[in-house]
Amino acid sequence: MTDTARADRLIGDILGRIHQAIAEHDVTYEEFQTAKQWLIDVGEAGEWPLFLDVFVEHAVEAQVFGDRRGSQGTILGPYHLPDAPVLEAPFELPRRPDEAGDRVEFTGQVTDEHGAPIAGAELDVWHADAKGLYSGFDPSLPEGILRGKVLTDADGRYTVRTILPAPYTIPEDGPTGAMVHAAGWSPWRPAHIHVIVSAEGHEPLVTQLYIDSSDYLDNDVANAVKDELIVRPRRKEGSDELGFTYDFALAQARAAAPV
């Protein structure tokens, strides 16, 4: 199908479904004007990435990766920054000296879809702090904290040390929060750690690990929790640190890269 033909069908279908909803719900001029102003407000507040990743991305992820081999992925979300540094041992994500939150170490192995270890695979890790805030987006946090990349060793093994994040809430003072409030929905996401696992010749795996003790696991505003992604941090013997393991299996790249 040509790009024009696809745009005609897809955009036409989306608009047609909006027209249908207007008819089915007997939408008024007052509601139309409210919606128009709200759309303008979302743009002015810079919340389009937030809105789209929370309310739409899960459907795209399911569509594109529903049949993926290897480990489960989930949505990327709006808070990834691609330029985090590669860490050196002991692989601690940068944090404030007095960083709140339980200390945790997670380890595991990266393999291909048949279980063969992948040395030199990259894990790009980022998460919120113990108040649910992300560095680089909330100005009250130092730049670059709670973000970093680690590489797997010769056996495909990795270690990451950090703190456990808190659940995340959509900012309540912006238009996205106003919409959620207007509809009587919960604005929360469960506590989660984002990871992108990549290695040459393999499909990058964009995923999140969800903390089993967190609230909102079965009521994620972004609809992005999968059972296979829930981890169980437990107190390590003789330590005040928590620990968990998670192994990632990467699917083979679907097709040759374009360049």
Binding site for Fe ion (CB under 5 A): 77
Which residue in 211, 222, 225, 249 binds ligand MBD (CB under 6 A)?
A: 222
77 scored as a contact of ligand MBD (CB under 6 A): yes
Nearer to ligand MBD, 158 or 216 (CB): 216
Q: Binds 118, which of ligand MBD, Fe ion, none (CB < 5 to 8 A, cut-off by type)?
A: none
Binding mask 179-218 for ligand MBD (x = CB under 6 A): ----------x-----------------------------
Token pair of 156 as six digits: 């495909």
Rounded to 5 degrees, φ, ψ at 67 are -110, 25
- What tokens does 259 get? 């360049």
Stretch touching ligand MBD by CB under 6 A, among 34-42, 64-72, 76-84, 225-233: 76-84
Can you tell me whether residue 228 is helix, strand or coil? helix
Work out whether strand 230-231 and strand 234-235 pair parallel, antiparallel, or are unpaired.
unpaired
115: region left, alpha or beta (phi > 0 left; psi from -120 to 50 alpha): left
Convert residues 97-136 into a mask of x (bound to ligand MBD by CB under 6 A) and - (unbound). Answer: ----------------------------------------
Q: What is the DSSP string of 21-88?
A: HHHHTT--HHHHHHHHHHHHHHHHTT-HHHHHHHHTHHHHHHHHHTT--SS------S---TTPPBPP
Encoded one letter per residue, x for contact with ligand MBD by CB under 6 A and - for no contact, window 43-72 reads -------x--xx------------------
Contacts with 51 (C-beta within 8 Å, 6 or more apart), sequence order: 42, 176
Interaction residues for ligand MBD, span 152-171 (CB under 6 A): 168
Residues 78-97 touching ligand MBD, rule: CB under 6 A, are 78-79
Q: Starting at the edge strand that comes first in sequence, how are the strands of the sheet with 205-211 ordered? A: 147-151, 122-127, 192-198, 205-211, 230-231
Phi/psi class of residue 192: alpha, beta or left (left: φ > 0; alpha: ψ in -120 to 50)?
A: beta
> At its nearest, how many Å lie between ligand MBD and the CB of residue 50?
6
Question: Between residues 57 and 105, which has the closer beta carbon with respect to ligand MBD?
Answer: 57
Residues that bind ligand MBD (CB under 6 A): 50, 53-54, 75, 77-79, 168, 189, 222, 224
